[in-house]
């Protein structure tokens, strides 16, 4: 099969031919139809993820069709259209048994712990526990866009943030995660204030009906600007970028008893930011992480998509072929793209 592979961190990946994968006894092989390019792929390529063993094939948000199954797989068959959360659970640890596969103790992460989806085929272990069957009405690119950023945003806003209609949601950073959070917040009936440094990203936020947008380049005190715009602070606030300053703003712009959810990754030099813990105590703030979403929660999200309440297709930016994706991955740190970049493979 054709795959994007790198031999060393930070060294340009190449499109190469490697042997087709075969399924583990509890696994499947999926023909990849569409796969999103995410900042985590760039972090992985830079060597920021200790799970990756070289040589490596990246790619962790995708949709496709099952082409081979292991002998122990019961719930899926050849031909099924599926996707999978980027964190897949082992099925037998304490977290998996309590329904929290997104923090499994022995995670299977295609594109990190195992070879991923920037290839014609991807092998997935623990299939019965993690695969999600796709409705016919959701196309491959849209389904692929759910696997990482959209699902993580859904969990961040709905399950961790517990956002309700009429509340205020602040979203710091309007990339793929942030735009997803805006769309989900509006679908829940909340008011959304979106913050970014790029005027065109704020235009996108407005097109998704963000109630208020704040250009961070013109505001010296962003937490105050958010508190003013929301009549006292956001009920739920998300750092969708992953930076010590956006993390701090997201906590400081909360109203009393508000909930901060950290979704943007904090890696390398940013891994241990200063948290205003005095404010967390005095205002009884809640601080959460959000790390993917369990396969069993996909049903709620897919229903909101098929009913038209959520339209993740609007978040897809440029569409690429696998050969073009090498440049796209390497340039990710400098490319000011919009929404989710989608790699489409011949099905
Ligand atoms: Zn991702
Ligand atoms: Zn587990």
Residue-by-residue DSSP string for 78-128: TT-EEE--SSB--SSSHHHHTT-GGG-TT-B-BTTTB--SSBSEEEESSHH
Ligand with the closest atom to the CA of 89:
2
Cβ–Cβ under 8 Å, residues 153 and 185: no
Task: Classify strands 340-344 and 28-37 as parallel, antiparallel or unpaired.
Answer: antiparallel
Q: What is the pLDDT of residue 346?
A: 81
CA distance 115 to 263: 24
Return residues with CB closer than 5 A to ligand 1 (ion).
38, 40, 148
Residue 163 gets which letter from DSSP?
-
Q: What is the pLDDT of residue 339?
A: 78
Q: What are the pLDDT digits (tens) for 224-254?
A: 999 999 999 999 999 999 999 999 999 999 9
Query: How many C-alpha atoms does 142 have within 13 Å on its Cβ side?
Result: 16
Nearest-5° Cα angle at 103, 102 to 106: 105
CA distance 296 to 214: 36
Ligand with the closest atom to the CA of 61:
1
Q: What is the pLDDT of residue 328?
A: 94
* pLDDT at 110 > cutoff 90: yes
* pLDDT at 134 > cutoff 90: yes
Cβ–Cβ under 8 Å, residues 332 and 319: no
- What is the value of pTM for the model shown? 0.94
CA distance 102 to 338: 27
* pLDDT at 347 > cutoff 80: no
* pLDDT at 39 > cutoff 90: no
- Ligand 1 centroid–CA 41 distance in Å is 7
Ligand with the closest atom to the CA of 85:
1
- Ligand 2 centroid–CA 91 distance in Å is 5
CA distance 28 to 155: 26
Q: What is the pLDDT of residue 336?
A: 63
Give, in order, the Cα–Cα distances in Å from 203 to each of 170, 207, 214, 218.
Answer: 16, 6, 11, 16
Q: What is the pLDDT of residue 107?
A: 96
Q: What is the pLDDT of residue 221?
A: 98
- Ligand 2 centroid–CA 331 distance in Å is 34
Give, in order, the Cα–Cα distances in Å from 166 to each of 12, 126, 192, 303.
Answer: 48, 40, 10, 22
- Pseudo-torsion of CA 199, 204, 210, 212, nearest 10°? 10
CA distance 88 to 141: 20
Q: What are the pLDDT digits (tens) for 140-163?
A: 999 999 988 999 999 999 999 999
* pLDDT at 26 > cutoff 90: yes
What share of the chain has pLDDT > 90, as a percent? 92
Helical pair 176-187 and 199-207, crossing angle rounded to 10 deg: 30
Q: Which of 131, 134, 71, 51 is nearest to 301 (CA)?
A: 134
Q: What is the pLDDT of residue 23?
A: 98
* 47 — pLDDT class (breaks 50, 70, 90): very high
Phi (first) and psi of residue 264, to 5 degrees: -60, 135
* pLDDT at 338 > cutoff 80: no
Indicate if the alpha-carbon torsion angle 62, 64, 67, 73 is positive or negative: positive
Average pLDDT over residues 284-294: 96
Q: What are the pLDDT digits (tens) for 306-321?
A: 999 999 999 998 999 9
Q: What are the pLDDT digits (tens) for 159-192?
A: 999 999 999 999 999 998 999 999 999 999 999 9
- Ligand 1 centroid–CA 142 distance in Å is 14
Q: What is the pLDDT of residue 335?
A: 62
* pLDDT at 324 > cutoff 80: yes
CA distance 79 to 86: 21
Q: What is the pLDDT of residue 56?
A: 98
Average pLDDT over residues 256-260: 98
Cβ–Cβ under 8 Å, residues 40 and 109: no
Q: Which residues of 221-242 are buried (b: 16+ CB within 10 A; e: fewer)?
A: ebbebbbebbeebbbbbbbbbb
DSSP H stretches of helix in 283-321 = 298-306
- Greater confidence (312 vs 339) lies with 312
Ligand with the closest atom to the CA of 35:
1
Return residues with CB closer than 5 A to ligand 2 (ion).
89-90, 93, 96, 104
Query: How many C-alpha atoms does 60 have within 13 Å on its Cβ side?
Result: 28
């Amino acid at each position: 099969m054709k795959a994007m592979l790198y031999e060393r961190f930070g060294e340009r990946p190449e499109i190469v031919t490697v042997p087709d994968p075969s399924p583990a006894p509890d696994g499947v092989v999926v023909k990849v139809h569409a796969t999103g390019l995410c900042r985590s792929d760039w972090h992985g390529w830079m060597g920021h993820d200790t799970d990756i063993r070289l040589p490596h094939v990246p790619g962790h948000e995708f949709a496709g069709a099952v082409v081979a199954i292991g002998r122990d797989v019961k719930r899926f068959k050849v031909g099924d259209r599926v996707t999978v959360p980027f964190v897949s659970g082992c099925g037998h640890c304490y977290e998996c048994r309590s329904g929290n596969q997104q923090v499994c103790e022995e995670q299977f992460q295609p594109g990190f712990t195992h070879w991923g989806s920037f290839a014609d085929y991807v092998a997935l272990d623990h299939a019965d526990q993690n695969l999600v069957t796709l409705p016919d009405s959701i196309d491959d690119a849209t389904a692929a866009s759910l696997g990482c950023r959209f699902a993580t945003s859904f969990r961040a806003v709905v399950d961790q943030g517990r956002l309700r209609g009429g509340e205020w949601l602040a979203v710091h950073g309007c990339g793929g995660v942030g735009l997803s959070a805006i769309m989900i917040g509006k679908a829940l009936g909340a008011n959304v204030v979106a913050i970014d440094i790029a005027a065109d990203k704020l235009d996108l936020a407005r097109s998704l009906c963000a109630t208020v947008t704040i250009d961070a380049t013109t505001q010296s005190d962003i937490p105050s600007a958010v508190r003013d715009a929301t009549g006292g602070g956001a009920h739920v606030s998300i750092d969708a970028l992953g930076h010590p300053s956006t993390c701090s703003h997201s906590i400081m712009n909360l109203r009393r008893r508000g909930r901060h959810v950290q979704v943007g990754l904090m890696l390398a030099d940013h891994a241990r930011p200063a948290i205003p813990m005095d404010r967390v105590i005095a205002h009884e703030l809640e601080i959460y992480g959000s790390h993917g979403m369990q396969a069993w929660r996909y049903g709620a999200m897919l229903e909101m998509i098929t009913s038209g309440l959520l339209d993740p297709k609007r978040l897809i930016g440029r569409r690429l072929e696998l050969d073009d994706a090498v440049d796209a991955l390497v340039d990710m740190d400098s490319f000011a793209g919009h929404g989710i970049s989608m790699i489409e493979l011949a099905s």
